[in-house]
Amino acid sequence: MTTNATLQRAFSDPMFTAIGEIAEQMQTRAFTIGGCVRDALLKRNQSKDIDIVCEGSGIELAKAVADQLPNSGKVTVYKNYGTAMVRVGSYELEFVGARKESYQKNSRNPVVEIGNLEDDQKRRDFTVNALAFALNPKEFGTLIDPFDGLEDLDKKVLRTPLTAAQTFSDDPLRMLRAVRFATQLDFTIDPQTMKSIRIMSQRIKILSQERIIEEIHKILLTQIPSKGFLLLDELGLLQHIFPELCSLKGIEEVEGQRHKDNFYHTFEVVDNICQTTDNLWLRWAALLHDIGKAPTKKFNQKVGWTFHGHEFVGAKMVYKLFKRLKMPLNEKMKYVQKLVFMSSRPIVISEKIVTDAAVRRLVFDAGELIDDLLLLCEADITTKNPQRFETYHNNFKIVRQKIIDVEEKDRIRNFQPPVDGDEIMKTFGVGPCREIGLIKEYIKEAILDGEIPNEYLAAHAMMLKKAEELGLQPKQNTRE
Ligand code: CTP
């Protein structure tokens, strides 16, 4: 299909012609621009978010569209940005007036003025995001491409319309967007643009953490995030966002003993987990699973390199990192923290002949996270030795089967004590006290050790036995 036919098809909904007609009545020109044009040409799955630029007031055009088109919602105006949003059917349209920047003699601050389409295209981040599709009746379907964005799309390259230094000074987030688009679209970044990013990398420090994290999320949600993270590193951006990851770099050797490079290993694990899950937070756990290794690294004459307690240290670092990056300190953070904390547990189990009790404890401690934890551990297998690769994976198959067997018998996941604190208090006619806790703990341990099954009668008998040891006398029968 030709470029023209592809675009005509992407914008064939009668709504687009109608918007062009409304713009014409208002004596302005309107265009779809940015991601929607780019993605249509790349034949990526087309989003319903459409950016529309007009040579006039975007807000007025939005109001007229909402007035005249059926299935329109209310207009939301963002005065500070000079933009307005309207839903029409399943589309979400964002309108903006074309702008240009001019610099006044005595000030370095730009003054934003009304401009024409080309002024606006110049101010955009990449040539492939500056392609505009005309909507007015006389020119409907014309592609306006003053910066050869189409050629760059073909060559799969990200290039700025103006000099990279100008474009990135306008908004340093664009340096991260370059990496994000390169990863999402599998594009390269033009060498001159790369050079400018390297020079300007520390400018990302002025950005809000929220904007940075939005880009990191998008990189993490791609199929091969390592491409993005290694690019961030190469461009000097990663150290400003994740110094903890940069500290994992390098291989040290003492007395002929080396450890693996945990920096590259981390991104391999991230790529691996992306093959099995779209869960953003599980991907975060893969990214952070080894961050405790830099501060805990030691060389020991007898055993070589050790990272004792790295899971514990790493879990604490997850909290600090989330806080610094202004990510919510909610259950998602706790989820990542718990996975980092437990990241070595199944590995230990998989390495030896494992008892039911060890499996039961693992399932108890992991709770609902057991499946994700196993996925993380399997993704952690990055050995290049095919025999070891197979052995490790087989060991996990065995662990998985053991978990199924133990679960069938004992239902440890979402463990609810078969005899609870209330019942113990009622049985012995006491209020909350230390003994209640001790009895509960004793029953739980007996179940996890496999001494008794996870069942009411066995637990009840155990309660009576432990209570007697503690000097408590039953007051009433609880099973009436
Ligand atoms: N844009 C820009 N500089 C930015 C952000 C956005 O020049 N810092 C312009 C680009 O032309 C971009 C358009 O605004 O194409 C819309 O931005 P956005 O919705 O963030 O990105 P899309 O290109 O639509 O891509 P995606 O939706 O995949 O993020």
Which DSSP string do the residues of 409-457 spell out, in sequence order? HH--TT---SS-HHHHHHHHT--S-HHHHHHHHHHHHHHHTTSS-SSHH
Mean pLDDT, residues 286-292 taken together? 97
Q: Residue 330 Cα, ligand 1 centroid: separation in angstroms?
A: 29
Ligand 1 atom at shortest distance from the alpha carbon of 123 = 7
Question: Which distant-in-sequence residues (6+ apart) come within 8 Å of 373 by Cβ?
Answer: 339, 342, 343, 345, 346, 366
Kindly give the number of the ligand 1 atom that is closest to the alpha carbon of 125. Answer: 7
pLDDT of residue 476: 58
Q: Residue range 424-449: average pLDDT?
A: 90
Q: Using the mean position of ligand 1's atoms as its centre, give its distance from the Cα of residue 127 in Å.
A: 11
Strands 83-88 and 91-97: antiparallel
Would you say the CB of residue 124 lies under 6 angstroms from ligand 1? yes
pLDDT in tens, 299-343: 888 888 888 999 999 999 999 999 999 999 999 999 999 999 999
Q: Give the pLDDT mean for 278-291.
A: 98
Q: How far is the CA of 34 from the centre of ligand 1 (A)?
A: 6
pLDDT at 417 over 90: no
pLDDT value at 106 more than 70: no
Give the model's pLDDT for residue 46: 81
Q: CA nearest 227: which of 165, 271, 194, 258?
A: 271
φ and ψ at residue 120, rounded to 5 degrees = -70, -45
> Using CA atoms, how far apart are residues 108 and 53, in angstroms rounded to an integer?
26
pLDDT at 479 over 90: no
Rounded mean pLDDT of 459-471?
90
pLDDT value at 478 more than 60: no
- Higher-confidence position of 98 and 355: 98
CA-closest residue to ligand 1 atom 23: 35
Are the beta carbons of 421 and 440 closer than 8 angstroms? Answer: yes
What is the predicted pLDDT for the residue at 477?
A: 57
pLDDT tops 60 at residue 266: yes
Distance from Cα 33 to the centre of ligand 1, integer Å:
9
Token digits of residue 375: 């996925």
The ligand 1 atom nearest the CA atom of 174: 8
Closest C-alpha residue for ligand 1 atom 13:
34
- pTM for the model: 0.90
Atom of ligand 1 nearest to the CA of 181: 28
Tell me what the mean pLDDT of segment 270-283 comes to.
98
Residue 104: pLDDT band (50, 70, 90) is low
Q: Which of 378, 368, 247 is nearest to 317 (CA)?
A: 247
Instruction: List the chain domain ranges.
Output: 3-154, 156-241, 421-469
- Atom 19, ligand 1: which residue's CA is nearest? 35
Residue with CA at minimum distance from ligand 1 atom 21 = 35
Tokens of 395: 């060991």
Terminal Cα distance for the chain, rounded: 78
The pLDDT score that the predictor gives to residue 110 is 62
Mutate to test the pocket of ligand 1, among 51, 119, 218 (most ligand atoms within 8 A of CB): 51
User: Is the C-beta atom of 34 inside 6 A of ligand 1?
Assistant: yes
Quote the CA–CA distance of 1 and 220 in Å, as a whole number.
32
pLDDT in tens, 202-229: 999 999 999 999 999 999 999 999 999 9
With the most atoms of ligand 1 within 8 angstroms of its CB, the residue from 32, 33, 117, 129 to mutate is 129
Cβ(402) – ligand 1 distance below 6 Å: no
Ligand 1 neighbour 222 (Cβ under 6 A): no
Closest CA to 396 of 414, 373, 412: 373
Looking at 37-51, 343-357, 439-453, which range is the least confident one?
A: 343-357
Which class does domain 156-241 fall in? Answer: mainly alpha
Q: Whose CA is nearest to atom 8 of ligand 1?
A: 174
Asked if residue 173 has its Cβ within 6 Å of ligand 1, the reply is: yes
Does 160 contact ligand 1 (Cβ within 6 A)? no
Ligand 1 atom closest to the Cα of residue 184 is 28
Percent of the chain with pLDDT over 70: 96
Q: How many CB atoms lie within 10 A of CB 27?
A: 8
| Ligand 1 centroid to residue 124 C-alpha, Å | 8
SS3 78: strand
35 CB less than 6 Å from ligand 1?
A: yes
Q: How far is the CA of 174 from the centre of ligand 1 (A)?
A: 9
385 pLDDT more than 70: yes
Q: How confident is the model at residue 107 (pLDDT cuts 50, 70, 90)?
A: low
Ligand 1, residue 171: give the atom nearest the CA: 8
Select the more confidently predicted residue: 476 or 159: 159
User: Other C-beta atoms within 10 Å of 114: how many?
Assistant: 14
Task: Find the 35 Cα to ligand 1 centroid distance in Å.
Answer: 6
Tell me: domain 3-154, CATH 3.20.20.30, correct? no
- The predicted structure's pLDDT at residue 302: 84
Atom of ligand 1 at shortest range from CA of 124: 7
Protein residue with its CA nearest to atom 14 in ligand 1: 34
Q: What is the mean pLDDT of the chain?
A: 92
pLDDT-based confidence at 480, cuts 50/70/90? very low
174 close to ligand 1 (CB < 6 Angstrom): yes
